[in-house]
Amino acid sequence: EVQLVESGGGLVQPGGSLRLSCAAFGFTFSTYEMSWVRQVPGKGLECVSDISSSGTTMSYADSVKGRFTVSRDNARNSLYLQMNSLRAEDTAVYYCARIGRTSRAPNCWGQGTLVTVSS
Amino acid sequence: DVVMTQSPLSLPVTLGQPASISCRSSQSLVHSDGNTYLNWFQQRPGQSPRRLIYKVSDRDSGVPDRFSGSGSGTDFTLKISRVEAEDVAVYYCMQGTHWPRTFGQGTKVEIK
């Protein structure tokens, strides 16, 4: 069964850092582009970052560029999001998502992990 | 960024009746490879999003055939032929043609 499991969320102060992890199961992780998508509770969805299957190409939304870094370890079937200089507006549920090979869109989502930035 | 605009934002529907959601993009979603990467997602209360439709009209595996997608260029539609109780959710369109991928605001489908 294809499964994505996020971890690492929690409460952090403004200006602080947090590292999210996503463990992938049930598919050949190294052959898929992966993405982080966030959702402010009760609000809409925002694509935060993408990483190519090899890990050599990364893309970021303007709202996080320079503060967030996406990476992956294909040997460990894991995806990461290093979040620095966190702001209150980064408070959201962060989803790990697998991008379909031919659809350029998420076709599998994790359950999400909540990040709360507050003093 | 490409702005995706959905309407209506709230859609009360009677069980067994059809429902239709519109999605318009601020620029064409036709990719240089000829494909149009417009997707529809369903998010039930308390759950992660689930993709229903990709490339305008292709249904994902396991998606009931009462869901259908159509459209071209900048105008797209998701239709539910006969709404069932399990269809209560927020529906989002999302474009994957241009980076960053962008979502519509969401349409909340509820039962009258």
Query: For residue B45, what pLDDT is reported?
Result: 94
Q: How distant is the alpha carbon of residue A98 from its chain centre?
A: 10
Q: pLDDT for A11-65, tens place per residue?
A: 999 999 999 999 999 999 999 999 999 999 889 999 999 999 999 999 999 999 9
Residues of chain B neighbouring A105 (CB-CB closer than 8 A): 37, 39, 51, 54, 94, 96, 101
- DSSP-assigned beta bridge partners for residue A83: A18, A68
pLDDT-derived band at B84, boundaries 50, 70, 90: very high
Q: Is the peptide bond before B18 cis (omega within 30 degrees of 0)?
A: no
Query: For residue B74, what pLDDT is reported?
Result: 98
Integer Rg of chain A from CA: 13
**Which strands, in side-by-side order, build the sheet including A68-73?**
A3-7, A18-25, A78-83, A68-73
pLDDT-derived band at B62, boundaries 50, 70, 90: very high
Lowest-pLDDT range of A99-108, B42-51, B60-69, B88-97: A99-108
What's the rounded mean pLDDT across residues A78-96?
Answer: 98
pLDDT-derived band at B106, boundaries 50, 70, 90: very high
Best interface-test mutation with B: which of A99, A104, A108, A111 has the largest number of B CBs within 10 A?
A104
Query: For residue B49, what pLDDT is reported?
Result: 97
Give backbone dihedrals phi and psi of B20, rounded to 5 degrees, phi first.
-140, 135
3-state helix, strand, coil in chain A (%, to 5): 5, 50, 45
Gap between the Cα atoms of A74 and A88, Å rounded: 32
Q: pLDDT for A66-85, tens place per residue?
A: 999 999 999 999 999 999 99
Give backbone dihedrals phi and psi of B107, rounded to 5 degrees, phi first.
-125, 120
A23 close contact with B: CB closer than 8 A: no
Look at A103 and B48 and tell me if their CB atoms are within 8 Å. no
Gap between the Cα atoms of A90 and B63, Å rounded: 33
Distance from CA of B18 to the nearest CA of A (A): 24
- Work out whether strand B10-13 and strand B107-111 pair parallel, antiparallel, or are unpaired: parallel
Distance from CA of B92 to the nearest CA of A (A): 8
Query: For residue A85, what pLDDT is reported?
Result: 98
**Numbered residues of chain B with Cβ closer than 8 Å to any chain A Cβ:** 1, 31, 37, 39, 41, 48-51, 54-55, 58, 60, 92, 94, 96-97, 99-106
Distance from CA of A75 to the nearest CA of B (A): 26
